Amino acid sequence: MAGWGAFFVSLLNYKTEKYVIAENRRIGILFRLYQLAVLGYIIGWVFVIKKGYQEREEAIQTSVITKLKGVALTNSSEAGLHLWGAEDYVIPPNGEQVFFVITNYIETPNQRLGFCAELHPCSQECVLSLSPSGIKTGLCLNSTGTCEIHAWCPVEYGKRPREPLLSEAENFTIYIKNFIRFPKFEFSKSNVLENYNDSYLKTCSYDSEDHLYCPIFRLGDLVSWTGNDFQDMAAKGGSVGILIEWNCDLDKDSSQCNPQYSFTRLDINLNNSVTSGYNFRFGRYYKDPNGESFRTLYKVYGIRFDIMINGQAGRFNIVPTIIAIGSGVALLGIGAFACDMILLYMMNTSSFYRERKFEIINFNDTLPRSLRRAQSQSLTSPSLHTIKLGRQTKTNHLQRPARGGAKRRTYVDFSPNWNATSLSDACPDYTHVGPEKCKCWALCKWSRKRM
């Protein structure tokens, strides 16, 4: 119980810092290098690069409008000459953030509902069931050696052309208009400047150096900026990502907030791989003069464009600034703690350092513990231990006239085994300020050497 009682009583003690200067070059150099590293981190990384003094917002509000222009002429054995406009090769045609441009296709014209032969040969599974092309009737046609199906006939046939049929799509242009807004800061901007007129937009082409705010892009350039060849991608299709980044420092002028474009290929481009490329099917339906429906089936290959908007804005605020500075001060404290641990536990002189660093003061005793401990130790005196007094007229072991002869100062020379009692007699008004210093109403000095 006594141990627990002492523990709870010790919780009421007050601890304060005591600064000790340790003349150790290695520890000093280590501590200063750590301080320089922390200051470099706070100033260089936190404030300069990351702008830790700013309040940030990443919840960007955005809208994208797209429009394609260009025509292409194709000539196939199935459909003959065909002129393709933007309303034909862009899906969807209403200009969204994600759109598809047809560059190659397989056309199966004049399909009608009826019975016809499947392309695959007959097998034991030629029974009444569903197939990828229609419904199997369960009959095997001897003339073709394939199962009979009820479907849109004739079924899709032909192979993908090795060269893209719409190779002119490389010169098509796309107009991308982007609006952004940071609601926290009430800041809005667009990638098209308001002072631009129609004639400029009809003739300009995007360039990161000269025409940053021109929203007109050539499809061939978009693909080439991803590191791919347009004609190769157009044959099998692919997916291209267009990233527009808005990183705005609102402490500067709004003209410094500019869009940054980057382009990348999103699909996996592997030769002879089923995962590379992009294609799908759709049909265009018609009616003949008799009212019967028929269609033209297209299996189209092309390039899918995904426009992605990202951004953040920052403005000075005192709260993140204080937090960043406080974090830096805490990091500096870690360095001091680490150096203390080295001096306290990892040095040959650790016990000496601990003795100097930690001291317990008991105000209930008349004398400080350091003087009581010194009283029980033997001390070796230098040639002369002196305490210089003013006009004190206590015991004088050695007297000599003061300068000018008008006044006298008293010098008290203690014996090598001086004690606190004689010190109190010499300095009746002394106040303890450390294990080796005292002060009284005059000036009190002495030195000692530990045996």
Q: Is 272 annotated as a binding residue?
A: no
- Determine the Cα–Cα distance for residues 127 and 21; give it in Å rounded to an integer: 97
DSSP 119: E
Kindly give, in sequence order, each residue whose CB lies less than 8 Å from that of residue 399, ignoring residues fewer than 6 positions away.
408, 410, 411
282 marked as part of a ligand binding site: no
Instruction: Please count the other Cβ atoms lying within 10 Å of the Cβ belonging to residue 51.
Output: 17
Beta strands in 37-145 (DSSP E): 54-57, 61-69, 72-76, 80-84, 90-91, 98-121, 129-130, 135-141
- Distance CA(277)–CA(270), nearest Å, equals 9
The helix-helix angle for 350-357 and 318-345 (nearest 10°) equals 130
Q: Bridge partners of 246?
A: 259, 311
Count how many Cα atoms sit within 13 Å of the Cα of residue 205 in the half-sphere of its side chain: 9
349 annotated among ligand-binding-site residues = no
Per-residue HEC secondary structure of 182-219 comes to ECCCCEEEECCCCCCCHHHHHHCCCECCCECCCCEEEH
Judge whether 66 is annotated as a binding position: no
Q: Which residues pair with 99 in a beta bridge?
A: 305
> What one-character DSSP code corresponds to residue 174?
E
- β pairing state of 293-316 and 54-57: antiparallel
Rounded Cα distance, 51 and 57, in Å: 13
| Residue 417 annotated as part of some ligand binding site | no
Contact 156, 106 (CB under 8 A): yes
Q: Is 113 annotated as a binding residue?
A: no
The alpha carbon torsion through 436, 441, 443, 449 (nearest 10 deg) reads: -20
Contacts of 222 (CB under 8 A, 6+ apart): 174, 240, 242, 263, 305
Residue 384 labeled ligand binder:
no
209: which residues sit within 8 A by CB, 6+ positions away? Answer: none
Contact call for residues 103 and 166 (beta carbons, < 8 A): yes
Annotated ligand binding at 184? The verdict is no
One-character DSSP codes across 339-351: HHHHHHHSSTTHH
Q: Which residue has the tokens 């003795």?
A: 355
What per-residue string of b and e applies to 82-94 under the rule 16 or more CB within 10 Å gives b? eebebeebbeeee
* Annotated binding-site members for ATP: 67-69, 173, 279-281, 299
* Annotated binding-site members: 67-69, 173, 279-281, 299
